[in-house]
Amino acid sequence: MKIANKFKHIAYSTARLLGYEVVPSWRFETLGFTTLLTDLFQRNKINYVLDVGANTGQYVRFLRQFAGYEGRVISFEPVSHCYQSLIKKAELDPLWDTRQFALGKENSTQKINVMKSDQFSSFLQPTHKFIDGLQDLNVIDHTEEIIVKSLDEVLSEMKIDGVKEAIYLKLDTQGYDMQVIAGAKNSLQNIWALQTEVSVLNIYEGMPSIEQVIVEMRNLEFDLVGMFPVNHDRNLRVIEYDAVFINRRRMNGPVSP
């Protein structure tokens, strides 16, 4: 194994000297997304990530290992067993904090549907009208009563200075992202860029469409800079995209669309 790693190191180093990067085949699927985020974070000197819908911390691992991000992170995850896994990982990273509640339009307590596959857990009801293949995963296992807070209140409570900090907002709340944005009326102007999941084939009842989200974000002065498939159905149709938007008020040069 040590010999194999030595040859890999030689191959990577040689390629780099020749102006190339060697990329493992398993990274092809996320390479475009990784490249965009790396560039976006460097250009805008992003130093604070709000990881909303953290599950067990996969996104922070991705940022640290592949996007080269070394700044502060606060992860929000309401589901109890996911949060227990999350805090164990965050304890190993001094710049990573966690909070066990959800974000939404306003402060409340709500019941969340914890699905058989916890990455699908949502406030919304699952639907299987539009695609096959998720009947055993995106189905309710149990519900939990959780605390919901608005992003405006959270940033105020935590005394996060949106003027001094360059904040990136990552949303992955399974159909509830626009409710989080609705609770950030005062905060959005200080969010430099954000990503949200947008739906092409709905897997929850009542979730907004991709067209609705793009129009709403443009109305909020956030312009689209990239879209990357999250998953596909058995016919290779895109189910959801991760859509990345930049705050028009934070852009260099002309801000008119």
- Domain with residue 184: its CATH number is 3.40.50.150
- Report if residue 17 sits inside a domain: no
- Report if residue 112 sits inside a domain: yes
User: For residues 254 and 89, which has the higher predicted lDDT (pLDDT)?
Assistant: 89
* Domain range for 101: 28-250
- Report if residue 187 sits inside a domain: yes
Helix 58-66, helix 28-44: angle, nearest 10: 80
Amino acid, single-letter form, for residue 86: L
Please indicate, yes or no, whether the overall pTM of this predicted structure exceeds 0.75.
Answer: yes
Residue percentage of the chain with pLDDT more than 90:
78
* Alpha helix segments (H runs only) across 68-194: 80-90, 151-157, 177-182
How far apart are the C-alpha atoms of 235 and 170, rounded to whole Å?
A: 28
- Report if residue 132 sits inside a domain: yes
Non-local CB neighbours of 115 within 8 Å, separated by 6+ positions: 121, 122, 126, 137, 138, 139, 140, 141
Q: How many CB atoms lie within 10 A of CB 37?
A: 26
- Report if residue 57 sits inside a domain: yes
Residue 16's pLDDT is 57
**53 φψ region: left (φ > 0), alpha (ψ -120 to 50), beta (else):** left
Non-local CB neighbours of 123 within 8 Å, separated by 6+ positions: 102, 104, 110, 111, 112, 113, 173, 174, 175, 176, 179
Q: What pLDDT band is residue 251 in, cutting at 50, 70 and 90?
A: confident
pLDDT tens per residue across span 209-227 = 999 999 999 999 999 999 9
How far apart are the C-alpha atoms of 83 and 55, rounded to whole Å?
A: 7
Residue 20's pLDDT is 61
SS3 of residue 207 by DSSP:
coil
How many domains in the chain?
A: 1
- Report if residue 12 sits inside a domain: no
User: For residues 191 and 27, which has the higher predicted lDDT (pLDDT)?
Assistant: 191
| Mean pLDDT for the chain overall | 89
- Report if residue 4 sits inside a domain: no
Non-local CB neighbours of 202 within 8 Å, separated by 6+ positions: 127, 129, 130, 175, 209
- Report if residue 142 sits inside a domain: yes
